[in-house]
Amino acid sequence: MRSMFRAGDFVAEQVDPVESEQIQPNGVDLTVAGVAEQIDPGRIGREGKEIGERQPVELAEVREDGPATYYLPEGGYVVEYAETIRVPEGHVGFVYPRSSLLRNSCMLNTAVWDAGYEGRGEGLLQVHHDVEIERGARIAQFVLAEANHDGTYDGAYQGERLDEFLPDA
């Protein structure tokens, strides 16, 4: 019987940059590049969409001996992933929260990543109890499943955040 999901080594070929500790048996861990709060309303209509303005969350602590930390009280946040993802033809991508988020009363919501997508995506981080998260921490796992598809992704988010500067973790 053929497996629907691809092995972590295959997924790692579609992620950049990737360190060996990010490669899991069935996927690749994604890390935090930044965190933002939406401060203005967005709009989703039948003929288009508008993303509400966002404000970056300030780092709570900058330590000389380690990564900077975000202190996140209860609420909803947009977390930006540090890695560039490519979803090859014949596949569909999914992002799931790491169990450490769930064990800390947090949830990560994402959408389907269609064949042909390339970019540095983001997810909705729901914080149900205050938490500290270091920039560069592994919070999600990207997996690929083999899938039939009609065409490839060519939407508004193609190539998102590829030209943004990423601070050192």
- What pLDDT sits at residue 1? 47
Instruction: With respect to residue 18, please indicate whether it lies within any of the assigned structural domains.
Output: yes
Residue 46 forms part of a structural domain: no
Collapse the DSSP code of 147 into the 3-class scheme (helix H, G, I; strand E, B; otherwise coil) and give the result.
Answer: coil
pLDDT digits (tens, 9 = 90+) for 52-72: 999 999 988 666 776 789 999
Strand 91-97 to 122-127 pairing: unpaired
Count of domains forming the chain: 1
**CATH number of the domain bearing residue 96:** 2.70.40.10
- Report pTM: 0.90
Terminal alpha carbon distance of the chain? 42
Encode pLDDT of 109-127 as tens digits: 999 999 999 999 999 999 9
Give residue 61's pLDDT: 65
Q: CA 73 to CA 131: how far, in whole Å?
A: 7
For residue range 3-33, list pLDDT tens digits in order.
Answer: 699 999 999 999 999 999 999 999 999 999 9
Structural domain of residue 27, as residue ranges? 8-40+52-143
Tell whether the model's pLDDT for residue 49 goes beyond 60. yes
2 domain residue, yes or no: no
Please calculate the CA angle 115-124-4 and round it to the nearest 5 degrees: 35
Residue 137 has pLDDT above 50, yes or no: yes
